[in-house]
Chain A
Amino acid sequence: MKKLYISLIFLFLYAPIFTLIVLSFNASKTRAKWGGFTLKWYFSLFENEAILQALWNTLLLAALSALIATVIGLVACIAMQSMKKKTRALILGIANIPMLNAEIVTGISFMLLFISLGVTFGFGTILLAHITFNIPYVILSIQPRMKQLNTSTYEAALDLGANSLQAFFRIVFPDILPGILSGFLMAFTMSLDDFIITHFTKGPGVDTLSTKIYTEVRKGIKPEMYSLSTLIFAAVFILMLLVNHTPRKKEKS
């Protein structure tokens, strides 16, 4: 019974994924017909410069925005440690706004800001927006680990002559590293999958995979898009399996 239920939900969540994978091997150019098995879209993908450029933009945006958001979020979490409960709650509240707010509202609010500041819309505006909506995911991953920290080891390090920077990197950092990594990964994923906020903050000529797909919806999606997504999905899937199967020490809860 339980297994059947989980399988059905699993089928529901992954049916579209399987569909896309099957479409990437479809010789027919339209998604409505099956035209036989082919690998040609996997080859033509690497000759399609527009798609490769969009892929590069997407990955660069995800990496930069996740990295900068992780630094800002981590520093904010350290600062919050020494704050009173109320100030901390206020900061967490503000940080959560982009996560709880509707993406369309966040998107148009950025659009209005950039218009008023007279900034040219392009890669930079998308990056600023992505960093902002990534910060809450980073804080949510790091903050709980910070709370569990045992401050006496940090103080002991200080007593033994370490300066605060040494004490932080030798004592605190290893403890919160899993939180930092999962925050970075969440932020990377969120940036990679975003369409709505990018839609409102992008300029002409700059495309991510999402915005490129959106403009292709009416004309028909290029089959190379399916092969590219299949490759990305397969790569991540294998990576995740490897990470999950690497033996590691049991975490203390």
Chain B
Amino acid sequence: MRDSRKLLSAPFLFWAALFIIIPLCMVFYYGLTDKTGAFTLDNVLAIASPEHRKAFWEAIKLSVVSTVICLLLAYPLAMILAGMKGNHDSFIILIFILPMWMNFLLRTLAWQTLLEKTGVINSILAVLHLPALKIINTPAAIVLGMVYNFLPFMVLPIYNVLVKIDSNLISAAKDLGANGAQTFLRVTLPLSTAGVISGITMVFVPALTTFVISQLLGGSKILLIGNIIEQEFTQTNNWHLGSGLSIVLMLFIILNMVLSVVTDKDGEVNAL
């Protein structure tokens, strides 16, 4: 009986091998060979060329800043949401999932309308006699786009761990004389590490590798590593170079995955 049930994993394993494992091997194959099929490290080492290094560094900078901002915004929000009485799980998820039904590109483009020189925000600022915001087509606009698009991925995992914390632990800490800050630093924060790390990986990876947000809000002047890779595949058609640069990205991603697997052993943090 048990053995026959194990056979049920066959369709998934077949699917995973064909559409997850083999495609990733192809990236490594293309990235580590040249057009003649000979082994080379040139495509990977190309990350060090001035143009690529600049784009990579820019991507790391902007994605780190976005991740930090997301964490600072999301943690208090998750705490407030987790502290609300009653079971609001489905409502909270709904609020964050609902915007996804308006297309991702349109949502990001809407920020152009909001941020433009004569856009909505500046019109409001002008009425209030405040100085105009000049962030469209700058790295700041890209960071805003990243925070906007990826904030839910930070809030949900932190919320998921916070609601599971036994409120008796908090009361016990307070009874034993800890003040609010101490309770937070010694009890709440350590118990929510898994959610925080999961949130960080869920925000950092898409931010590091995006090419759409930088294209739409950066005014095509700012190239991130994602833009370079996308161009290699859709315009220059140099799949070997594009794959080689992707391998470098994957090193970061694998590091991230290991981190999230180690801290989230039961796979419960991301559960929706």
Interface residues of A (CB under 8 A from B): 2, 5-6, 9-10, 12-17, 19-20, 23, 31-32, 72-73, 75-76, 78-83, 89, 91-106, 108-113, 115-116, 128-129, 131-132, 135, 137, 140-141, 143-144, 164, 182, 186, 189-190, 192-196, 199-200, 209-210, 213-214, 217, 221, 225-226, 229, 232-233, 236-237, 240, 244
Kindly state the separation between the CA atoms of A96 and B16 in the bound complex, as whole angstroms. Answer: 10
Stretch of B129-137, B170-178, B241-249 with 4 or more beta carbons under 8 angstroms from chain A = B241-249
Give chain B nearest CB distance to A180 CB in angstroms: 13
Of B6, B102, B148, the residue contacting A83 (CB under 8 A) is: B6
Check A192 against B101 for contact (C-beta < 8 Å): yes
Interface pair A143/B267, CB less than 8 Å apart = yes
CB-contact partner of A232 in B102, B108, B250, under 8 A: B102
The distance in angstroms between the C-alpha atoms of A95 and B112, with both chains bound, is 36
Contact B102 A75 (CB under 8 A): no
Considering the chains assembled together, what is the distance between the CA atoms of A103 and B207 in angstroms? 10
Contact B148 A16 (CB under 8 A): yes
Contact call B271/A141, Cβ cutoff below 8 A = yes
Identify A78's interface contact among B8, B27, B106, B243, CB under 8 A.
B8
Determine chain B's interface SS by DSSP, over half rule. Answer: helix
Pull 13 A–B residue pairs with CB atoms less than 8 Å apart, ordered by A: A9-B73, A16-B102, A32-B118, A75-B8, A83-B9, A95-B12, A97-B24, A112-B239, A140-B267, A192-B100, A221-B106, A225-B103, A240-B98
Closest residue on chain A to residue B107 by CB atoms:
A16
Q: Which of B20, B80, B103, B239 contacts A209 (CB 8 A)?
A: B103
B127: interface (CB < 8 Å):
no
Known interface pairs A80-B9, A193-B104, A213-B105; A143-B99 also in contact (CB < 8 Å): no
B256 at the interface (CB under 8 A from A): yes
Contact status of A236 and B98, CB under 8 A, knowing A76-B11, A93-B261: yes
Known: A101-B257, A105-B27, A229-B106. 10 other contacts (CB 8 A): A9-B151, A16-B107, A20-B106, A91-B9, A96-B267, A100-B201, A111-B233, A131-B15, A189-B101, A237-B98
Determine whether the beta carbon of A100 is less than 8 Å from that of B19.
no
Across the interface, which residues of A come within 8 angstroms of B187, CB to CB? Answer: none
Knowing A103-B209, A195-B212, A244-B94 are in contact, say whether A233-B5 is a contact too (CB < 8 A): no
Across the interface, do A108 and B246 meet the contact criterion of CB distance under 8 Å?
yes
Contact (Cβ within 8 A) B9 A79: yes
CB contacts (< 8 Å) of A81 on chain B: these are 5
Cα–Cα distance between A250 and B223 once the two chains are bound (Å): 51
